[in-house]
Structure 1
Amino acid sequence: MDPWASSEHLKFETAALTHTGHVRRFNEDSIFTDGERGIWVVADGMGGHRDGNLASAMIADAARGVGKGASLMEFAEAFRRDIDAVNAELLTRSQGRPEHIVGSTVAALLSHDGNYCCLWAGDSRCYLVRDGRIEQLSHDHTEVQELVDRGIISRAEAASWPRRNVITRAVGAIDDFQLEQATGVVKSGDCFVLCSDGLTGHVKDEEILAMSSGLSAHQASHELLELALARGGKDNISVVVVNVVDKGATTLVMR
């Protein structure tokens, strides 16, 4: 499929990669992208649980069927409803038994009429690179992030905290499930990066900034994946890069 897609006055260049990594036997990540509709998704099946790949694949399938709606908020609500349905189905499968829980994180980017909405649960992330700076739009739903937010440990301590991978919110894990969201205006020159923690476990924010600035989405996604693999690839790795330009603008310089 053509990596370039147009929406309103903007043009999206998308590249998406997922890799098992060097340690795991199976890839429990799933990705979905549709630049024409303006929807990009990364889902990371919960490690250590049965059929995590099933949970993440269900999220990708749900994204495939989401109706766009007349506004960004309608688009986001349609996505929420479909993810709620996935959550309910996964809970039914587990039959209330914690040992049978099948779950997944999700990070989604929706775009409509020049605006964006990032929705997420868990520790898969959505970044915005703009004007030479990087901003993490999502906020991790993890035990360690809660400790940082409460001032109990520092960000430096969080990097090596023994329970840093414990997720506090995921699709399929709790009845009272809600996606968190962040919204804003899409601008020409923006770059959005969605990824699972298999990437951020090895690659720092400033490195994501450096590798996504001024490159094609294809080149940036490959460089990010290769760096994570070179540093051990201890988990499944997924990355989606979305570059935004005005229609009719020249393509980005590749290196």
Structure 2
Amino acid sequence: MNWDDTIIDASATDTGMRRRNNQDSHATVRAANVETWRRRGHLFMVADGMGAHAAGELASKMACDLIPHSYMKAKAGAPGEAIAKAFREVSSQIHVRAAANRDFDGMGTTCTSLLLLPEGALVAHVGDSRAYRIRDGRIDQLSFDHSLVWELVRRNHLTREQANVSIPKNVITRSLGPAEVDVDLEGPLAVREGDVYLLCSDGLSGPVEDPELGAFAAHFHPRDASRYLLHLANLRGGLDNITVVIVRIGPWVDPESGEIDQRDAPAAKGRDANGAPRSWKDRLLARLTAPKAPQTLTAEEEHRYRSCECPIGDKLLDDLGRLVEGTRETAIAQAWSVDWPRLAEHRRKLHEAQDAGQRRLVLREIGEMASMLGQAGRFHRKQVAT
């Protein structure tokens, strides 16, 4: 990757439909200058806390506050060494904090981070929050779930089908919180323009299938895709906190108009990530210190723990269409507070797109309807609870 490359990111988080507080956290830290970029790149992170009272919320916040700070300030060590060290240090700090307060007993958090570096993409993770890459119509899971289900399958004790039926999915085997922790590193992996990376807590990856994650992330701007996916999870019950971070490499070109979204215009040659002019010294330093391109890994060498195609297919559209239509009928029956004329307009556009065979537009209208109904459902549930 280069300092001038366009990188578009967006995030969304929600308590979900059942929880009272949000124990998820996320962080985005862009390199402030070319020198920091060369050494540490850009960092994106998701953490899912656990523990009674406010313990999980505190643990995930500590991870997303302290790990980026520790990593970016590290003077020595390659990026992989520095991020793993930052993970271990924060795990130890969480452990000390929990030991000092009985209310924080069992406090911990998952943590998954993506580093975009001159050498490529590097994933560091502990727990079952996930990192995905969407490329060429496929979604690849780049992180291993540190969960009882995945560990039993890896050790050949059970098949994946047996484990999914007999083992609780929310039992994790590794987290930040113990005095010592092993940190998994994946990469650096070669990056291509058009790649999309998605980080999320299990509040999203649980109710939303991989092909659905890939279809939305691949075909919509990160701002819209993150919003659609969050509310899709809520329409399917929202049983847990939901957090998603989506990172797209390269400019966003609207498929209908063919125009580049100027809000995401690339840092032009000779300008920094904030659009400010870069000095000739910065430009020269970027050229002289650019690392050699890494050897591209083959599919076998990359750890793609799961992989599947993610087209906008008939089954996906039918399943999602039934979901939003069923939720709309529930909203009518229970008198949810919905902007009904606006929802009707999206429904009309959906049917027009179906008649014209424009699958992406169908998916977009499903996403808009899911967003409206998801927000209305949360508001209605809160009103009933009070």
- Would you say same fold, with TM above 0.5? yes
Whether the 8 Å contact between 2:88 and 2:180 is mirrored in structure 1 is no
Whether the 8 Å contact between 1:144 and 1:161 is mirrored in structure 2 is no
Q: Could you say if the C-alpha distance between residues 213 and 165 of structure 1 is closer, same or farther in structure 2, counting changes exceeding 3 Å?
A: same
Whether the 8 Å contact between 1:147 and 1:153 is mirrored in structure 2 is yes
1:10 corresponds, among 5, 9, 28, to 5
Deviation at 1:213, TM superposition (A): 1.3
Deviation at 1:47, TM superposition (A): 4.9
Deviation at 1:68, TM superposition (A): 7.0
Report SS of the residue matched to 2:169: coil
Counting strand residues as a fraction of each chain, which structure ranks higher? 1
* Residue ranges of structure 2 left out of the alignment (5+ in a row): 32-40, 257-363, 365-386
Identity, in percent, stands at 37
Show the counterpart of 1:104: 109
Show the counterpart of 2:20: 25
Show the counterpart of 1:81: 85
Q: What does 1:127-206 align with in structure 2 at a 5 Å threshold?
A: 127-172=132-177, 174-183=178-187, 184-206=189-211
RMSD, aligned α-carbons: 2.5
Q: 1:115 aligned to 2:139?
A: no
Whether the 8 Å contact between 1:90 and 1:101 is mirrored in structure 2 is no
- Over residues 100-132 of structure 1, what are the superposed CA-to-partner deviations in whole Å (9 max), with x where a residue is unaligned? 121000010001115010010000000011111
Deviation at 1:23, TM superposition (A): 0.6
What TM-score do you get using the length of structure 2 for normalisation?
Answer: 0.59
- Over residues 153-195 of structure 1, what are the superposed CA-to-partner deviations in whole Å (9 max), with x where a residue is unaligned? 33233334342211110000x3331210111011101000000
Q: Between the two structures, name the one with larger relative contact order (CA 8 Å, sep ≥ 6).
A: 1
Q: What does 1:230-241 align with in structure 2 at a 5 Å threshold?
A: 230-241=235-246
Q: What does 1:53-68 align with in structure 2 at a 5 Å threshold?
A: 53-65=57-69, 66-67=71-72
Whether the 8 Å contact between 1:32 and 1:63 is mirrored in structure 2 is no
Paired AA for residue 77 in structure 1 = E
- Over residues 135-166 of structure 1, what are the superposed CA-to-partner deviations in whole Å (9 max), with x where a residue is unaligned? 10000001111112123333233334342211
Q: Could you say if the C-alpha distance between residues 9 and 69 of structure 1 is closer, same or farther in structure 2, counting changes exceeding 3 Å?
A: farther
What TM-score do you get using the length of structure 1 for normalisation?
Answer: 0.87
* Residue ranges of structure 1 left out of the alignment (5+ in a row): 1-5
Q: 1:251 aligned to 2:246?
A: no
**Higher radius of gyration, 1 or 2:** 2
Whether the 8 Å contact between 1:49 and 1:102 is mirrored in structure 2 is no
